Amino acid sequence: MSENLLHSRVETIRRLARRGAVRPLANILQKTRAEDVAATMPHLAPAEQRFVFQHIEDDETAAELLARVGETDLANLVRDLPVERLVELLDAMEVDDETDVIALLPEDIRERVMALLQRDDREQVEELLAWPEDSAGGIMQPAAFRLNEDATCREAIQALQESGDVEQVFYLYVENEQGQLVGVVSLRNLLTRPPNTPLHEVMVPDVISVPPHLDQEEVSRIVSRYDFLAVPVVDEHRRLLGIVTVDDVIDVIKEEAVEDMMLMVGVHQDDPSDQPGGVLKSARQRLTWLLITLVGGVLVAELAKLWERDIGAFPLLAGFLPVVIGMGGNVGSQAATITVRGIALGHLEPRDILRVVWREVRVGLLLGLGYGLLLAVYCWLRFDRLFFGLGVGAAILAAMGAAAVTGSIIPLALQRARIDPAVVTVPFVTTLMDLVGVLIYFSVTTALIALTF
């Protein structure tokens, strides 16, 4: 379904929900895929969301909806739902989705739900909840299709036909007598071998697996590097705990991309300003970087004060400070972003520091030379002040060169110190470049202006 189709569906559902047209709405919901109903949720008001949810007749669809919405929408949907009904819907989910939903539930509801779960289901959920939510254990599903290595292909196919509880089968995992993971078989290979062949002859040994505590970002890197549909999670004795499937990996990659982008401008990824009382929370989360900008700004003012007399004598000096520090901030942010990305993609290491800095410095100086000349000529023609123009031009050149060094060196230095280079945000780099820029600007311009007197 294209985005346009989605939008017209949103419109229809919305209109019917608003009119309270129960029968037509239920009919449409019946005919619509669960994923498409879920996609309409962010566009509906809370009351509309609940109205739609109440009129979904198919349990699978209702369960899918709960599994797909975020924390706020989930709290809204389950607000008026009897806990017994919620447990029914949770039963219809795969246990990894079930765990995720339970983890997002408001605490009072969560406790009542846990008490009502069947014992083995509750134990599985509790085990999954024990792993950090951004680890392999936190995103795995415990149900995996597994057999002993001595089973034959025929037995495997039979087992596959009878395994109702494993919803989607990606690979068949092969275990030895000790329950250790020793191999993997694709469904297709199961079919292309004589039925009596034992699995240990069909399987690919030397399976790539991940430990349960591995960070989800690393898990996604492995799945994507080897083009896997799923990767097994094993404990320290190589016993299979579960699998992380490619659809969860896609969610991880998207999540991390949003997180990185938000981090870059100093915003928390789950900016809560859309929630009730969220404005305050949101302001609190953005406080830190703005405080750094503020402190930096005050320092800039204090530094500028050192040249107070020059500014008083020649006020034009003040007007060109913003462009010099602005250009420096831009070049610094660009160098930092390129370096942070290079590190994240695994292309750059601390040892590459000289090469990267040298490359960014050349780009920065080249651009600084061009724009410095341009600005020098502008100042000269506009104000008839050659030396002031040269001063501004030279300051821009120096600021851009310094910005390129700073922006590329800091992320690599942070990585060497084992700090996530992604903390080098745009606000941080621009603030730093403001300070460096103001020093460069006033030193260079006043020195050159002095020549004319």
Q: Binders of a copy of itself among 296-315, rule CB under 8 A?
A: 296-298, 300-305, 308-309, 311-313, 315
* By CB under 8 A, residue 66 contacts a copy of itself: no
* By CB under 8 A, residue 112 contacts a copy of itself: no
| 211 Cβ contact list (under 8 Å, min separation 6) | 136, 233, 234, 235, 236
87 versus 408: smaller Cβ distance to a copy of itself: 408
* By CB under 8 A, residue 129 contacts a copy of itself: no
- The length of the chain in residues reads 453
Please state the closest distance from residue 392 (CB atom) to a copy of itself, in A: 9
One residue of 18, 19, 30, 42 binding a copy of itself per CB under 8 A: 42
Chain positions 183 to 222 lying near a copy of itself, rule: CB under 8 A, are: 186-188, 191-192, 208, 214, 218, 221-222
Chain positions 352 to 411 lying near a copy of itself, rule: CB under 8 A, are: 359-360, 362-363, 366-367, 370-371, 374-375, 378
Please state the closest distance from residue 395 (CB atom) to a copy of itself, in A: 12
| 324 Cβ contact list (under 8 Å, min separation 6) | 392, 395, 396, 399, 437, 440, 441
* By CB under 8 A, residue 417 contacts a copy of itself: no
As beta bridge partners, residue 244 has 231
As beta bridge partners, residue 231 has 244
Q: Which of 232, 228, 14, 71 is nearest to 144 (CA)?
A: 232
Taking a C-beta distance cutoff of 8 angstroms, is the pair 421, 339 a contact?
yes
| 149 Cβ contact list (under 8 Å, min separation 6) | 174, 175, 176, 182, 183, 198, 199, 200, 203
* By CB under 8 A, residue 286 contacts a copy of itself: yes
DSSP 21: -
| 249 Cβ contact list (under 8 Å, min separation 6) | 219, 220, 223, 224
* By CB under 8 A, residue 74 contacts a copy of itself: no
Chain positions 223 to 282 lying near a copy of itself, rule: CB under 8 A, are: 223-227, 229, 246-247, 249-251, 253-254, 257-258, 260-262, 264-267, 271, 273-274, 278-280, 282
Please state the closest distance from residue 144 (CB atom) to a copy of itself, in A: 14
| 88 Cβ contact list (under 8 Å, min separation 6) | 59
26 versus 246: smaller Cβ distance to a copy of itself: 246
117 versus 328: smaller Cβ distance to a copy of itself: 328
β-strand 171-175 against 181-186: which pairing, if any?
A: antiparallel
* By CB under 8 A, residue 28 contacts a copy of itself: no
| Residues contacting a copy of itself: total by CB under 8 A | 119
* By CB under 8 A, residue 423 contacts a copy of itself: no
* By CB under 8 A, residue 79 contacts a copy of itself: no
One residue of 76, 99, 431, 446 binding a copy of itself per CB under 8 A: 431
Please give the angle made by the CA atoms of 71, 77 and 79, to the nearest 5 degrees.
100
CA-to-CA separations, 219 to 121, 229, 249, 345, in angstroms, rounded: 26, 12, 8, 14
| 134 Cβ contact list (under 8 Å, min separation 6) | 215, 216, 217
> How far apart are the C-alpha atoms of 387 and 279, rounded to whole Å?
50
* By CB under 8 A, residue 337 contacts a copy of itself: yes
Please state the closest distance from residue 227 (CB atom) to a copy of itself, in A: 4
One residue of 80, 346, 384, 418 binding a copy of itself per CB under 8 A: 346
* By CB under 8 A, residue 22 contacts a copy of itself: no
81 versus 366: smaller Cβ distance to a copy of itself: 366
